[in-house]
């Protein structure tokens, strides 16, 4: 056995003894014939490798109450809220953990043979926290262009990652998220290969999408996916959400902006009626999330508690406005 293998094996064994067997590192050290410090390092190594997964099989009552509320008011099949954990190293880990589990279950079930995947940091983190699984017959397809306008690869693309995680086949859409113009979009859409990929995407059994907020620091701006001119146009309109590349107002209606003729990916109307899982996190996504929910296409909502809190109060306002 090679040294690296042997070290790894030892690390895994130490991890088992520590987490499953609940032995102390001292006991493990004695049993394995190494120093306690080494045991600690072995376990730390195994953790960094992502070999060890924790799972808390419950959520605080406050979260569950909000889940119920959202599910009722917005007719959701499922709603899960990751508890707020204060300022931690990785702010996505909570939502990623809960969404990862959900997605894992969804993909295990034999209902899904083809899954359409969107983009975003939260989605990326979600897939990172999923346990290994084998489901080679699954099709993983991109539902939106996954390049920047400069045609460089988008670092938040998750198809690749999910594909290799489950040993499945992946289909990218090698076009930008947003075309430069309506004409350029039509040019992309005229391509046979793009048409085929979009048709394939449309035929998915389930979709997993992120929700984009519109702020100056949102990744659309930061990553130069849209120009400042386009952004100003958005600001003039009532747009508060980028949902699947379309810009909508808080009622979930499309806004009359030129950008709405530039997205290359699937339209949210293309997925209406299918299983649509939305994953989002951060209180600043509240308006956007409400807007996306109001399109009525989302069936499953996975968010963190901060967003949930904010969303809850926004929904209160929405109701009192409607009542008036």
Partner DNA sequence: TCGTTCTATGAATATTTCTTCAATACTTGG
Partner DNA sequence: CCAAGTATTGAAGAAATATTCATAGAACGA
List interacting residues with DNA (CB under 7 A).
Answer: 18, 24-26, 34-38, 40-41, 43-44
Lookup: tokens for 60 = 């605080």
**Which one of a second copy, DNA, none is in contact with 71 (Cβ closer than 5 to 8 A by kind)?**
none
Nearer to DNA, 24 or 317 (CB): 24
Instruction: State the Cα–Cα distance between residues 224 and 141, nearest whole angstrom.
Output: 24
Closest separation in Å from C-beta 33 to DNA: 9
**Whole-Å CA distances, 8 to 39, 45, 164, 178, 183:** 12, 9, 21, 44, 54
**Whole-Å CA distances, 164 to 48, 170, 199, 268, 299:** 19, 8, 23, 27, 26
Determine which residue in the list 37, 88, 153, 253 makes contact with a second copy, applying CB under 8 A.
88
Site for a second copy in 114-143 (CB under 8 A): 131-132
Closest separation in Å from C-beta 90 to DNA: 15
H or E segment to which residue 213 belongs:
strand 212-213
The rounded radius of gyration (Å) of the Cα atoms in the chain is 22
**Which one of a second copy, DNA, none is in contact with 249 (Cβ closer than 5 to 8 A by kind)?**
none
**Whole-Å CA distances, 267 to 170, 279, 315:** 20, 17, 25
Site for a second copy in 245-304 (CB under 8 A): none
Interaction of residue 105 with a second copy, rule CB under 8 A: yes
Interaction of residue 33 with a second copy, rule CB under 8 A: no
Determine which residue in the list 75, 85, 153, 189 makes contact with a second copy, applying CB under 8 A.
85
Nearer to DNA, 38 or 231 (CB): 38
DSSP-based three-state secondary structure for 228: helix
Q: Would you list the DSSP string of 116-151? A: EE-B-HHHHHHHHTSPP---TT-EEEESS--B-TT-
In 159-205, where do the E strands start and end?
169-171
Nearer to a second copy, 86 or 321 (CB): 86
Closest separation in Å from C-beta 101 to a second copy: 10
**Which one of a second copy, DNA, none is in contact with 88 (Cβ closer than 5 to 8 A by kind)?**
a second copy
Which parts of this chain interact with a second copy (CB under 8 A)?
A: 1, 5-6, 8-10, 12-13, 15-17, 19-23, 27, 31, 46, 50-62, 82-83, 85-86, 88-89, 93-94, 97, 105, 108-111, 131-132
């Amino acid at each position: 056995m090679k040294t690296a293998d042997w070290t790894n094996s030892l690390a895994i064994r130490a991890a088992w003894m520590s987490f499953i067997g609940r032995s102390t590192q001292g006991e493990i050290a004695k049993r394995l014939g190494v120093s306690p410090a080494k045991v600690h390092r072995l376990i730390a190594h195994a953790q960094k490798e992502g070999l060890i997964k924790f799972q808390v099989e419950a959520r605080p009552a406050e979260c569950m109450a909000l889940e119920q509320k959202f599910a009722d008011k917005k007719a959701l099949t499922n709603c899960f809220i990751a508890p707020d954990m204060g300022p931690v190293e990785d702010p996505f880990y909570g939502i990623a953990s809960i969404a990862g589990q959900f997605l894992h279950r969804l993909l295990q079930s034999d209902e899904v043979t083809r899954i359409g995947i969107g983009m975003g940091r939260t989605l990326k983190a979600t897939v990172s926290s999923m346990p290994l699984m084998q489901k080679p017959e699954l099709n993983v397809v991109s539902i939106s262009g996954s390049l920047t306008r400069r045609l460089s690869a988008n670092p938040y693309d998750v198809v690749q990652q999910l594909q290799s995680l489950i040993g499945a086949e992946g289909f990218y859409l090698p076009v930008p998220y947003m075309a430069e113009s309506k004409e350029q979009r039509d040019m992309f859409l005229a391509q046979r290969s793009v048409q085929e990929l979009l048709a394939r995407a449309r035929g998915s059994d389930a979709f997993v999408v992120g929700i984009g907020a519109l702020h100056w620091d949102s990744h659309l701006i930061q990553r130069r996916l849209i120009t400042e001119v386009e952004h100003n146009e958005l600001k003039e309109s009532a747009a508060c959400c980028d949902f699947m590349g379309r810009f909508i107002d808080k009622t979930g209606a499309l806004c009359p902006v030129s950008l709405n003729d530039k997205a290359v990916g699937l339209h949210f109307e293309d997925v209406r009626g299918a299983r649509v899982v939305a994953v989002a996190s951060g209180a600043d996504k509240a308006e956007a999330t409400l807007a996306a929910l109001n399109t009525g296409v989302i069936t499953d909502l996975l968010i963190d508690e901060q967003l949930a809190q904010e969303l809850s109060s926004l929904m209160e306002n929405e109701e009192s406005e409607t009542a008036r």
